[in-house]
Amino acid sequence: MKINQEKVKSIFDIEGKIALVTGSTGGLGSTFARGLAEHGATVILNGRDKEKLARKVAELESDALKVHGYPFDITDSKIVEQAVAKIENEIGPIDILVNNAGITLRAPLEEFSDADWNKVIGINLTGAFIVARAVVKSMIKRKSGKIINIGSVQNELGRPTIAAYTASKGGLKMLTKGMAIDWAKYNIQVNGIGPGYFKTEMTRPLYENPEFDAWLCQRTPVNRWGDPEELVGALLFLSSGASSYVNGHTIYVDGGLLSSV
Ligand SMILES: NC(=O)c1ccc[n+]([C@@H]2O[C@H](COP(=O)([O-])OP(=O)(O)OC[C@H]3O[C@@H](n4cnc5c(N)ncnc54)[C@H](OP(=O)(O)O)[C@@H]3O)[C@@H](O)[C@H]2O)c1
């Protein structure tokens, strides 16, 4: 039997879709944005720092990619509602939302302040809810949409000094299931990606520490850090028609870390 290459390609096709990637001035978010744009989507980049955002938009535009920058803080529901309305008015309805913005703060849990706890949970967990709630309204009307929540291997595993982060990502894993259940009937698929360890601003204190670096490489079955581009395949799968019957799952892209003790 002759394989129909066009049909094979079309199940992963995202040409002409509009995607919003929160926190896309950072290490993983900018790779997600580039990956979607290189596959034909128009991508809305986001972050709080306007100058960083303008630089990232210019960088991707110089590669002839279709991108726009919308700075806003994902923790403020009013601002998020206004920003999403503006994007949908100026660019068009959002087909793909990647809830990627996230932070970590490290301290022994007994010393963790209320402010730091609320900051981590507010951005990583509540922020994803706030943006999804704003974006899903038009997805529900159009009976079509893809939401991808960026979790972590810390959805499943703890480590010293990051209990707030682990709590936020464990919560995000279950929020992904909750969103998937409530919105499946509108033909909206909500899933997650759980990255292992990748070198970005967030993990700088880890990869600059030779002891951690050595520990991580022996702890991870593939014996190395991930390359952010290795996340793009899972993102394309979850952003396209290829995942039309996949609801509420998290794909771990972790070099086997979660499969091994
Ligand atoms: N790096 C890893 O190894 C790894 C592993 C597992 C999971 N992850 C997850 O992947 C995601 C991206 O991480 P990363 O490593 O790429 O981090 P990063 O380089 O530090 O980037 C974080 C991004 O989030 C934005 N951001 C933070 N707070 C925000 C807010 N309130 N509103 C809007 N944007 C906000 C930042 O921009 P502004 O500061 O300008 O707002 C930046 O663009 C996070 O959810 C993280 O938990 C990362």
Q: Is 252 a catalytic residue?
A: no
- Choice from 78, 99, 100, 121 to test ligand 1 binding pocket (greatest atom count within 8 A of CB): 100
For residue 5, the model assigns a pLDDT of 74
Residue nearest to atom 18 of ligand 1 (CA): 26
In the sheet with 18-21, reading across from the earlier edge strand, the strands are: 67-69, 42-45, 18-21, 96-99, 145-150, 188-195, 250-253
* pLDDT higher than 90, residue 96: yes
For residue 6, the model assigns a pLDDT of 73
- Choice from 25, 28, 252 to test ligand 1 binding pocket (greatest atom count within 8 A of CB): 28
> Distance between the two ends of the chain, CA-based, in angstroms?
44
For residue 133, the model assigns a pLDDT of 99
Is the CB of residue 126 below 6 angstroms from any atom belonging to ligand 1? no
pLDDT digits (tens, 9 = 90+) for 18-60: 999 999 999 999 999 999 999 999 999 999 999 999 999 999 9
What's the rounded mean pLDDT across residues 128-137? Answer: 99
Residue type present at position 70: Y
Q: How far apart are CA 229 and CA 34, in angstroms?
A: 9
* pLDDT higher than 90, residue 71: yes
pLDDT digits (tens, 9 = 90+) for 154-188: 999 999 999 999 999 999 999 999 999 999 999 99
Backbone angle region of 111, left / alpha / beta, with phi > 0 → left and psi within -120 to 50 → alpha: alpha
Q: Determine the distance separating the centroid of ligand 1 and the alpha carbon of 114, expressed in angstroms.
A: 21
Q: Determine the distance separating the centroid of ligand 1 and the alpha carbon of 259, expressed in angstroms.
A: 25
* pLDDT higher than 80, residue 2: no
- Average pLDDT in the chain: 97
Q: Determine the distance separating the centroid of ligand 1 and the alpha carbon of 23, expressed in angstroms.
A: 5
Q: Determine the distance separating the centroid of ligand 1 and the alpha carbon of 202, expressed in angstroms.
A: 7
Q: Determine the distance separating the centroid of ligand 1 and the alpha carbon of 145, expressed in angstroms.
A: 23
Question: Residues of the chain with pLDDT > 90: what percent?
Answer: 96
Is the CB of residue 33 below 6 angstroms from any atom belonging to ligand 1? no
Is the CB of residue 71 below 6 angstroms from any atom belonging to ligand 1? no
pLDDT digits (tens, 9 = 90+) for 139-159: 999 999 999 999 999 999 999
Q: How far apart are CA 172 and CA 136, in angstroms?
A: 17
Question: Residues of the chain with pLDDT > 70: what percent?
Answer: 98
Atom of ligand 1 nearest to the CA of 71: 33
Instruction: For residue 63, count CB atoms less than 10 angstroms from its CB and return exposed for 0-12, middle for 13-18, buried for 19 or more.
Output: exposed
pTM more than 0.85 = yes
Is the CB of residue 23 below 6 angstroms from any atom belonging to ligand 1? yes
Binned at pLDDT 50, 70 and 90, residue 13 comes out as very high
Binned at pLDDT 50, 70 and 90, residue 3 comes out as confident
Q: Determine the distance separating the centroid of ligand 1 and the alpha carbon of 8, expressed in angstroms.
A: 33
For residue 127, the model assigns a pLDDT of 99
- Choice from 76, 103, 199, 252 to test ligand 1 binding pocket (greatest atom count within 8 A of CB): 103
Binned at pLDDT 50, 70 and 90, residue 8 comes out as low
**CATH 3.30.420.80, domain 5-199+227-254, yes or no:** no
Structural domain spans, the chain: 5-199+227-254
pLDDT digits (tens, 9 = 90+) for 76-93: 999 999 999 999 999 999
For residue 249, the model assigns a pLDDT of 98
